[in-house]
């Protein structure tokens, strides 16, 4: 009997959550614009694995599965640009076995996303941002495969930040500008915000409207430092693999309720 009561309780809880998800989705669609560009710091794979008694590699695999779910949620609410923080430059100093497993995961899944019928049906352009020189050659080839297969799509954009660091990105832009000044192609007076933005990895994209970070940590962690200057921030107290659709919808609805202020 206790087991039946537990199952009944779980069924009722699932039904209540689904009803709340449906209501939130209806409110989002009625409320007006969703973020044009959502950036996500996918934090907590390793802690999720430890709490579940899993290998770290399985925590990362669970995080990959969650990202696939999230793509469907973004499509459902009409969110057109998604940038996710998958691997920082600092992460590359982790245990070599963990880094190897991550590289294997990236290589496999960029190949998959290049062939994913959902990607082609919705015309999603896939792009990796970061210092590719720090990645394995097979990962680079897989990235190029996905990018080449989706390069002409313009309906949606899916960016994956790999071997990425925000300060490194800004330094890269500064070096490019300094080189152009040295070559006489540009004067110092011509360097403005637009000039810097045009030399970032995200040069052809609008800045993020909303940054969502999981795991309960409340910091940016060197992610899109220039681009998120005026973004709204939302912190979810759940590890990335444990993010639920209702958590995602709450973040979007919270964004819609905010009164955005730029520079104040």
Residues 43 and 105 in one domain: yes
- Of residues 43, 45, 159, 209, which has the active-site annotation? 43
- What is the rounded distance in angstroms from the CA atom of residue 58 to the CA atom of residue 45? 9
Both 11 and 74 in one domain: the answer is no
Q: Mark residue 130 as left, alpha or beta (left: phi above 0; alpha: psi -120 to 50; beta: remaining).
A: left
Percent of the residues in the chain that have a pLDDT greater than 70, as a whole number? 95
* Residue 151 lies inside a defined structural domain of this protein: yes
Same domain, 25 and 141: no
Q: What is the CATH number of the domain that holds 87?
A: 3.40.1180.10
Q: How far apart are CA 43 and CA 240, in angstroms?
A: 5
Statement to judge: residues 125 and 215 lie in one domain = yes
If asked whether residues 84 and 210 sit together in one domain, one would say yes
**Catalytic entry in 65, 91, 116, 222:** 91
To which residue do tokens 């152009």 refer? Answer: 180
Q: Report the candidate in 160, 154, 125 with the shortest Cα–Cα distance to residue 140.
A: 160
In which residue are the tokens 């000039």 written? 195
Number of domains in the chain: 2
Q: Is 91 a catalytic residue?
A: yes
Task: Kindly compute the dihedral angle of the four CA atoms of residues 56, 61, 67, 70, in this order, to the nearest 10 degrees.
Answer: -100
- Residue 55 domain-assigned? yes
Per-residue pLDDT of 4-38, as tens digits, reads: 656 655 676 778 889 999 999 999 999 989 999 99
* Same-domain status, 79 and 156: yes
Cα–Cα distance measured from residue 193 to residue 232, given in angstroms and rounded to the nearest whole number: 20
133-141 contact pairs (CB < 8 A, 24+): 133/163, 134/89, 134/92, 134/163, 135/103, 135/106, 135/162, 135/163, 136/103, 136/107, 138/103, 138/107, 139/103, 139/106, 139/107, 139/110
pLDDT digits (tens, 9 = 90+) for 216-261: 999 999 999 999 999 999 999 999 999 999 999 999 999 999 987 7
Residue 65 a catalytic site member? no
User: Between residues 263 and 115, which one has the greater pLDDT?
Assistant: 115
Same domain, 88 and 218: yes
Return the pLDDT at 259: 83
State pTM to two decimals.
0.92
Between CA 213 and CA 21 the distance in angstroms is: 20
Range of the domain at 6: 1-32
| Percent above pLDDT 90 for the chain | 91
């Amino acid at each position: 009997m206790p087991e039946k009561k537990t199952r009944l309780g779980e069924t009722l809880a699932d039904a209540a959550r689904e009803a709340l998800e449906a209501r939130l989705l209806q409110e989002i669609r009625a409320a007006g614009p969703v973020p044009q560009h959502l950036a996500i710091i996918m934090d907590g794979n390793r802690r999720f694995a430890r709490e579940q008694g899993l290998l770290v590699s399985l925590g990362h695999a669970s995080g990959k599965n969650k990202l696939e779910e999230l793509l469907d949620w973004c499509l459902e609410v009409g969110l057109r640009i998604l940038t996710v923080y998958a691997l920082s430059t600092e992460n590359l100093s982790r245990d070599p076995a963990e880094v190897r497993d991550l590289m294997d995961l990236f290589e496999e899944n960029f190949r998959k996303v290049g062939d994913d019928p959902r990607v082609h049906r919705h015309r999603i352009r896939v792009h990796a941002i970061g210092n590719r020189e720090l990645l394995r050659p097979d990962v680079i080839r897989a990235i190029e495969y996905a990018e080449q297969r989706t390069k002409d799509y313009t309906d949606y954009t899916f960016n994956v930040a790999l071997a990425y660091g925000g300060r490194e990105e800004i330094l890269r832009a500064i070096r490019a500008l300094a080189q152009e000044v040295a070559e006489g192609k540009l004067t110092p007076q011509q360097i403005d915000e637009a000039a810097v933005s045009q030399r970032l990895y995200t040069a052809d994209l609008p800045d993020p409207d909303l940054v969502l970070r999981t795991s309960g940590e409340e910091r940016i962690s060197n992610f899109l430092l220039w681009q998120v200057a005026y973004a709204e921030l939302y912190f979810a107290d759940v590890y990335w693999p444990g993010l639920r659709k209702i958590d995602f919808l709450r973040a979007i609805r919270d964004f819609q309720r905010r009164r955005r202020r730029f520079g104040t």
